[in-house]
Amino acid sequence: MKKLTAIVLALVIALSAATVAFAATSVYTCPACGDVIEGEKEFNTHLEKTCPVVGSEGKYKECPYDGCDAKFKSQEEYDKHLEICFYKPEPTIADKVSDFIAGIDFKEVFGKVTDFLGGIDFAGILAKVVGFIGGIDFSGIIDKIGSIEL
């Protein structure tokens, strides 16, 4: 019985020590990117060097527009700010044209043009043009032009 009690007591002590060790390990959630990091040292390293939002050496994302000092902890906040920042310069005509052209799906446009042109009877049109031109009395026109006095 003493042996069984000793084993149970040893198990209780071992489980208690494991529970205390587990509880002592802190778990942190990065406020910038949402990653969950175990351990204070690892969390600080994450913030200073590896967080994709905060960037290297613990710097937050800063607004790129001149005159704006806004800084952001999350990519989502940064992206929202860029859309509404008062310091955002007005796009130039070249920017607008570039954006317009970038939005064109040329493969789709050329496909539609090809489909349209494929439905045209060019041989029939050419035959009608040749027939029309063939019916013109050019010699009569030349005679009329030649009889005009200048």
Query: What confidence tens digit (pLDDT) does each residue in 83-98 have?
Result: 999 998 888 999 899 9
Query: Domain locations in the chain?
Result: 26-89, 92-150
CA atoms within 13 A on the CB side of 39: 5
The span from the CA of 27 to the CA of 23, in Å, is 10
pTM of the model: 0.31
The residues with which 28 forms a beta bridge, in sequence order, are 37
The span from the CA of 42 to the CA of 44, in Å, is 6
Query: What confidence tens digit (pLDDT) does each residue in 58-111 have?
Result: 567 888 999 998 888 778 888 899 999 999 888 899 989 999 999 999 999 999
Could you say which DSSP state residue 50 is in?
I
- Asked if 43 and 50 count as a contact pair (C-beta separation under 8 A), the reply is no
